[in-house]
Amino acid sequence: MTPSDHDYPDDPVPDYDGDQFDLDARLSLTRVPGMSTDLSDITEVEYRQLRLERVVLISVWTEGTASDAENAMTELKLLAETAGSQVLDALIQRRPTPDPATYIGSGKVKELREVVVATGADTVICDGELDAAQLRNLEDRVGVKVVDRTILILDIFAQHARSVEGRTQVELAQLQYMKQRLRGWGTSLSRQTGGRAAGGVGIGGRGPGETKIETDRRRINTRISRLRRKLRAMEGTRAEKRADRTRNRIPSVSIVGYTNAGKSSLLNRMTRAGVLVEDALFATLDPTTRRATTDDGRVYTLTDTVGFVRHLPHHLVEAFASTLEETARADLLVHVVDAADADPQGQVNAVRQVLTGIGAGEIDEILVLNKADLMDPGTEITLRTAFPGAFIVSAHTGQGVEELVAEIERRLPVPTELVDAVVPYERGDLMDRIHRLGTITSIEHTATGTHVVAHLHPGLAAEVRSVDGGARD
């Protein structure tokens, strides 16, 4: 049930994004060098901790319109700024496919080098996932550090992860990415040997030995195995909570959508959850579940999930599998779209692609166009035409939220079994569960107990019938 303005008379109504319990803490934090999820004892790897300052962006436009390419570059700029960098310039190259050696063609590499020198940039960010050879070749020719979109997103996740589970998931994704890009320099490629016998090789040292890269890969694999075991243990705790909700047949609603579309603001507006709200990509990573109650007393849960983005790195999808599973098990999806974005249709397509990939593509969905307070009348007409049936709301001002909540309550799953029984007065606990978990058709107090007619789930229905006191006059 949406809290109305008169429920909280002291709140500043026009400017409301929910209680900001975490925002002050985030703004007061300073990143400490060396305090990251990188393995400190693995140095000869292609993945390095990002210290982005002055960057140039580069993108290969392979399909779609020029507007699509510009929107993709705008998003890359937002990602770079979220990671803490200053964007100096951006280049886009039209090619059927990225160059297998340097991502961009040789002519564009020279142009990129000139831009880097002219602007004094220290980093180049590519809007794609590059392999180790592409990163190395581009670095050698441009003369500054080169990172790709995947590293950039992983760095943002590493900054914003707060819970133990979130940090573990991010580290796992980093190591999976790192393992494929191990790279050695000089003596790092030499074999490990020891002893004085037989020319200094020694007993047990003769033969092929093991290179430094092989050692690093083995240590990374060991760390990945430990992280996966840790996540499985955490999933056990999550599964117990989920089993409790399943046993009681509590409907679940997941709020999904593009990053920075306003999912956390909407959850705060609907439940006063106190989730961090910030105008930044991937501001919140850890799922937050809150209980809500319908107008007729039924209980359901609302879960705010991690935001999606175009070309979400598959390492992240795999690492966040347990978190995304909450979405795949939901009874209803509230799909939030940033109505003020230049390409809302692109957001919808990207989110639905991820939902399909995690097995949530067939779940009932309510499409919500958020940030109505930032729309002009012409944009609203265009969006209503493009997305018929969508709810236009503003989580910031509360516009349209009550209508959205009413639609959520209407589309919640209804218990299947109709029960007509008299519940003894001493079983107040059972009546409480009927109110919370069922849909009551009628209720009447009699001499022997409470006569109730309600739709209940099979387990609760059987329990109610077992205490039926009769005498239904």
Q: Which domains does the chain have, with CATH numbers?
A: 5-10+249-411 (3.40.50.300), 35-191+209-245 (3.40.50.11060), 417-466 (no CATH)
Q: What is the pLDDT of residues 180-213, one digit of tens each?
A: 777 544 444 455 554 444 455 455 555 555 566 7
Q: Compute φ and ψ for 345, nearest 5 degrees.
A: -65, -40
Question: Residue 299, Cα to own-chain centre: how many angstroms?
Answer: 25
Question: Residue 83, Cα to own-chain centre: how many angstroms?
Answer: 16
As a whole number, mean pLDDT of residues 225-243 equals: 77
| Amino acid in the structure at residue 439 | T
Annotated binding-site residues read 257-264, 282-286, 304-307, 370-373, 394-396
Query: Would you place residue 469 in the very low, low, confident or very high pLDDT band (cuts 50, 70, 90)?
Result: low
Q: Which residues pair with 191 in a beta bridge?
A: 211
Question: Residue 240, Cα to own-chain centre: how many angstroms?
Answer: 22
Number of alpha carbons in the 13 Å side-chain half-sphere of residue 375:
25
Q: What is the pLDDT of residues 1-46, one digit of tens each?
A: 444 444 444 444 444 455 444 544 444 443 333 333 333 343 334 4
Q: Tell me, what's the pLDDT at 190?
A: 52
Q: What percent of the chain has pLDDT over 70?
A: 75
Give CA–CA dist 103/197, Å, rounded.
Answer: 48
Annotated binding-site residues for GTP read 257-264, 282-286, 304-307, 370-373, 394-396
Q: Is 233 exposed, middle or buried (0-12, 13-18, 19+ CB in 10 A)?
A: exposed
What is the residue-averaged pLDDT of the chain?
77
Angle at 148 between CA 346 and CA 288, to 5 degrees: 60
Q: What is the pLDDT of residues 36-59, one digit of tens each?
A: 333 334 333 444 444 547 899 999
pLDDT for 341 beyond 70: yes
Q: What is the pLDDT of residues 261-309, one digit of tens each?
A: 888 888 888 876 554 444 555 555 567 788 888 887 778 888 887 788 8
Annotated binding-site residues for Mg(2+) read 264, 284
